[in-house]
Structure 1
């Protein structure tokens, strides 16, 4: 049985983000001997040794922030000592270490480079330079590179002359059939409250219309979020909610909205978007190549608060969008995503 070691995430059971949900869903099979590296800081009160079909190894560091580099390096060295056949690296933080790994191990390196992390506005120039170099080394020293969106694959080809495998994310786990109907006359958004997600643009647009907006996010995690909440708290149609960790409640808000607003401008295939597509709702996306690729140009798109407000006022979004559901069922189910990863593990 091939030994697969997965590094670069906070860990499982998934309680954090897209990579963690990906790993959680990769474990629903018994074809491989899988080890997942988890942050002991995150799971300090619940350190289980096995989960689903995987062994869990705890790393005494944070998986994110400045410690992520050491976290990934520690995980890689442990994987080598355990004679991993395949090391699946999620993200590029620790990829400065890959040239060393190639010299001391025959393990196959598969790296999902994520969504061009170095371009994100939240990083300073030094961090961006570091992440760009890490991305370059990830592409150069990995046996297989994974892009989660065709637009990312096109970038990898033009920037590095390298072909990558396009594997997105599943979203079918987000749907809950046991739901109670609630008020449907609202637009819905759920995301991290960061500038690159165009939160200010979305709020400005809804301050110009009467349509109700429910927007869920981590408002209190940054000055940016707190300032926006203060600025728009007086608008009766705008409801800014704190993070919702109850998946049933989140599914309810998604299932009964009249449209979904997706403001992400960075990264590749966004997990929250593919999750929403499984609800078959009208989706209004910020106009960028990643979002157009994910929705196959079948959503509605905006590039400014004026454009978004005009879509809302026109009622063009009204009604469900069966195209979104068809695309999601064809491309973004965990069964299909899992098989795509497993095929690479066996090469």
Structure 2
């Protein structure tokens, strides 16, 4: 018997934005024959509106899936899903969960919600937005049949805050291994990749490298905010720092990752970060910001920093980087492949 699953809360597929979109892309790619997905997509993000993709039905709504419009976007997705009668509703993120009590009342569908990485704690939100997102999170936990945490640290929070046990399922990262058969010549640069936001400690990383002769290539959406524009203007003047505008092509990103000496990961929030588990597949040493999210993801087996001084010390350290790199690859193969992740989601359905 085919199980119908509605997926709400993402920009949509084909993936063109971030972690949740890559998740849905690969859940549908590795889907079993007895799962039928319907994915709600933002018409604002797709010129070519395909009706199906990866054997999944796509439905488009006229709102942005991020920012303030994510609230009506998610609510309208739930309303649409009511009429389709799915067996399972998979909600990714909590911004529209103010409507979830009504959806629960009107639908016979089982509800699974991935609450993301404590969105209300992010520095980019103002006071009102934080309170709203925290309220939505509480409703999501209360009215879902299953809550998914993408990191054990998030699960610990859900348990302590709401007295609810959540299911820990991370993200895959092996989709980035696009050019496996090409020749790779490791170079002497360090590599960073993220959205340019304060909680990703971009400024700390750039400052540290500006005090060294070590080369850094850093990809991000620098021109999206005054914060990013300021950092780009200040640190692009350093000859050892290469500020690179967003790159979405996986083959190009493969070359950056495969040829670097080591990967620098500054995220301090958000649970299991997709960019981290992607980097772990490349058998490269990883220097990660020291927080419980990153320590859980890397099983305490990479190198950690919490200040510019600590990062500078790591850059000149004689620690065994080969062991660091091999540990990252081993963990990635064991925990962060999409085939494994898809099976874990389907076991919940």
Q: TM-score range by the shorter chain?
A: over 0.9
Task: Please state how far the C-alpha of 1:268 moved relative to its aligned partner.
Answer: 0.1
Match of 2:202 in 1: 199
1:23 aligns with 2:27: no
Match of 2:336 among 327, 332, 339: 332
Equivalent-residue separation in structure 1 for 2:156 and 2:91 (angstroms): 20
Task: Please state how far the C-alpha of 1:314 moved relative to its aligned partner.
Answer: 2.0
Structure 1: state its 5+ residue gaps: none
Q: Secondary structure at the residue paired with 1:189?
A: strand
Q: Is the 2:115–2:140 Cα contact (8 Å) retained in structure 1? A: yes
Equivalent-residue separation in structure 2 for 1:40 and 1:129 (angstroms): 28
Q: Is the 1:283–1:317 Cα contact (8 Å) retained in structure 2? A: no
Q: Deviations over 1:163-207 (max 9, x none)?
A: 000000000111121334345101000111111100110011101
1:303 aligns with 2:306: yes
Q: Secondary structure at the residue paired with 1:187?
A: strand
Match of 1:242 among 240, 245, 263: 245
Equivalent-residue separation in structure 2 for 1:229 and 1:299 (angstroms): 28
Q: Deviations over 1:20-44 (max 9, x none)?
A: 000010112222121000001111x
**TM-score for the superposition, normalised by structure 2:** 0.97
Match of 1:3 in 2: 4
Equivalent-residue separation in structure 1 for 2:73 and 2:279 (angstroms): 32
| CA spacing shift, 1:242–1:315, aligned 2, 3 Å | farther
**Aligned-pair Cα RMSD in Å:** 1.1
Equivalent-residue separation in structure 1 for 2:228 and 2:288 (angstroms): 21
Equivalent-residue separation in structure 1 for 2:297 and 2:149 (angstroms): 13
Equivalent-residue separation in structure 2 for 1:315 and 1:272 (angstroms): 26
Task: Please state how far the C-alpha of 1:106 moved relative to its aligned partner.
Answer: 1.3
Equivalent-residue separation in structure 1 for 2:91 and 2:307 (angstroms): 36
Q: Secondary structure at the residue paired with 2:242?
A: strand
Match of 1:171 in 2: 173
Q: Secondary structure at the residue paired with 1:314?
A: coil
Q: Aligned residues, how many? A: 344
Match of 2:44 in 1: 41
Structure 2: state its 5+ residue gaps: none
Q: Secondary structure at the residue paired with 2:327?
A: helix
Match of 1:86 among 85, 88, 95: 88
Task: Please state how far the C-alpha of 1:321 moved relative to its aligned partner.
Answer: 1.3
| CA spacing shift, 1:40–1:14, aligned 2, 3 Å | same
Equivalent-residue separation in structure 2 for 1:222 and 1:112 (angstroms): 27
Task: State how 1:207-246 maps to structure 2 within 5 Å.
Answer: 207-246=210-249
Equivalent-residue separation in structure 2 for 1:292 and 1:298 (angstroms): 8
Deviates most, 153-162 or 58-67: 58-67
